[in-house]
Structure 1
């Protein structure tokens, strides 16, 4: 996909010792700089996926994610961990049947079925979560404060490019985000719940891959990408997804989701302007315009930070 890079020699030796008759591996990395993933076929025709994590922290999160998936999901819903190497930050996993959902030419009814099943899968993942510790809660609160601070910095850089409704929306992000943490459920999150990480098997099942950002966090954060990129123009997919998830979002979760999507949008816009990336600018405008269509009035009782 991205670089079609050959597998490093030390990684190849590690793989060859574990996969009889392994081929050289096909680069199937995502089109981003730190993605390094290969599909390796064995002499029997079976395949495994091999990944080099971008950091020790990402490696540890992914291992935890695989353990959670094995406990919470059925074998057809998630790949299984086959081998790891801390020195190489290498992860070997089983294949999962199906095709990546993003970009698939699906009929509307089939697409709704995919989103409903993905919501059901996510609920199973969340329901297996342990109660958050005091440390977990402190970490989550600090992360939300950091997002509010980032939004404030982005607002200063992008205010001249925003209309009044968009400026007001981003200001709501700054003022309200930290107030919502205690009002919403905390779970062990997949962390990147987007269609690029869903696999659709036409036999009738959805699976999920890529656990690099799995961690304890706010449940509603799972829906940020969907909320900003899909749901504004496809409310039928939101309804399908939450039907599968088994419950509607609470008022506090809806508000949090709106603000988190707006934070993502202004971050895209700020990065695009700084890096002269028209694609990021367009993405940021897309998200902000759609989020600003929803009324942005401070919730009763909220006070500026």
Structure 2
């Protein structure tokens, strides 16, 4: 089942009145539904079973912007993925909630490292990401995405420096990165922007289902490879080869150089996220990566 690596719901926590109100949204669409308690899901994601035995996900957002981004994705380009993504049943702007079908299978993070199953999953994930990048409006040259990335870098760098995670010299280097990025003109496409194994479900037939589209938007295409490049492919280059085999083409020299240049953004994001969520592994990854870069 889909899950996010955030603070887990406390075991045995009863449903709140707000949760009861949210269930009314599902009942309006499906009729009687039964909540199924799953402690591996965050509190804002609820598994439901309808009267016919079909399972659904009721996902509540706490930020209107994230809700709008995911609702727009499901209503526009996600349907082009077919069975590789959940289907949106209903979007409720009043409660910032989405009612979605369940993609059956097991979580990709449960695969044994170095196994043939892991290689197959990465190959299939590459195929699905190619479908995402080819979805309307499709790849085209753009100028707004680099400026947005520069703004985000300055924001992440400021948070990292305020938390004493980086030095003044690192802060200066990250601001210089932002200045260079803002002047770029780069190929853009519809991007997932959190494309990694925690957001993949593997069906019994080996098909990959992708979820969590709350970050998706038109962005620099190479960015969708950055998290995999800097967090996952380093310990097993075979995963990288399998992924691009599924994607259908490898990166050219200029794209590979651009992918390496996204290392600082990946580093500072991991540092701040790890620090704020208490994820020591993610924090250590970000610290190691930025030390290697600067």
User: What TM-score, normalized to structure 1?
Assistant: 0.78
Tell me which of 126, 129, 137 is aligned to 1:119: 126
Distance verdict in 2 for CA 1:159–1:85, change over 3 Å: closer
**Shift in Å at residue 20 of structure 1?**
3.3
Partner of 2:243: 241
Over residues 209-251 of structure 1, what are the superposed CA-to-partner deviations in whole Å (9 max), with x where a residue is unaligned?
Answer: 1111111111111112111111111111111111111121233
1:189: Cα distance to partner? 1.0
Contact 1:29-1:37 at 8 Å conserved across structures: no
**2:48 is equivalent to residue 40 of structure 1:** yes
Secondary structure in 2 aligned to 1:40? strand
Aligned-pair distance for 1:200? 0.9
CA distance change for structure 1 residues 148 and 58 in 2, over 3 Å: closer, same or farther?
closer
Q: Note if contact 1:224-1:257 (Cα within 8 Å) is conserved in structure 2.
A: yes
Relative to structure 1, the CA distance from residue 52 to residue 270 in structure 2 (aligned partners, 3 Å threshold; closer, same or farther) is closer
Aligned mate of 2:154, from 140, 149, 158: 149
Kindly provide the CA deviation profile for residues 131-157 of structure 1, in whole angstroms up to 9, marking residues without a partner as x: 5799x732x133122134246644795
Instruction: Find the aligned partners of 2:98 and 2:277 in 1 and give their Cα distance.
Output: 32
1: distance between equivalents of 2:148 and 2:92? 29
1:252-267 maps to which residues of 2 (within 5 A)?
252-267=254-269
C-alpha displacement of 1:167: 9.1
Change (3 A) 1:239 1:47: same
**Alpha-carbon distance between aligned partners in 2 of 1:167 and 1:237, rounded to the nearest angstrom:** 33
| Unaligned segments of structure 1, at least 5 residues | 297-305
Match of 1:300 in 2: none
The one of 209, 212, 215 aligned to 2:214: 212
Match of 1:195 among 187, 194, 197: 197
Q: CA RMSD in A?
A: 3.3
TM-superposed deviation, 1:286: 3.7
Mapped partners of 1:173, 1:252: distance in 2? 17
Once residues 51 and 115 of structure 1 are traced to their aligned partners in structure 2, the CA distance between those partners, rounded to angstroms, is: 26
Q: Structure 2: state its 5+ residue gaps.
A: none
**Contact 2:140/2:189 (8 A) holds in 1:** no
More displaced 10-residue stretch of structure 1: 167-176 or 146-155? 167-176
Aligned partner of 1:17 in structure 2 is 28
Partner of 1:66: 74
Give, in angstroms, the shift of residue 62 of structure 1: 0.9
Superposed displacement of residue 36, structure 1: 0.6
User: What's the CA shift for 1:169?
Assistant: 7.7
Q: Does 13-22 or 213-222 show the bigger shift?
A: 13-22
In the alignment, which residue of structure 1 is the partner of 2:95? Answer: 88
Q: Are 1:268 and 2:270 counterparts?
A: yes
Change (3 A) 1:283 1:171: same
Distance 2:280 2:114 in 1: 31
1:193-220 superposed Cα distances (whole Å, 9 cap, x missing partner): 1111111123221111111111111111
Q: C-alpha separation between the residues in 2 aligned to 1:275 and 1:206?
A: 28
3-state SS of 1:38 partner: strand
Normalising by the residue count of structure 2, what TM-score does the alignment of the two structures yield? 0.81
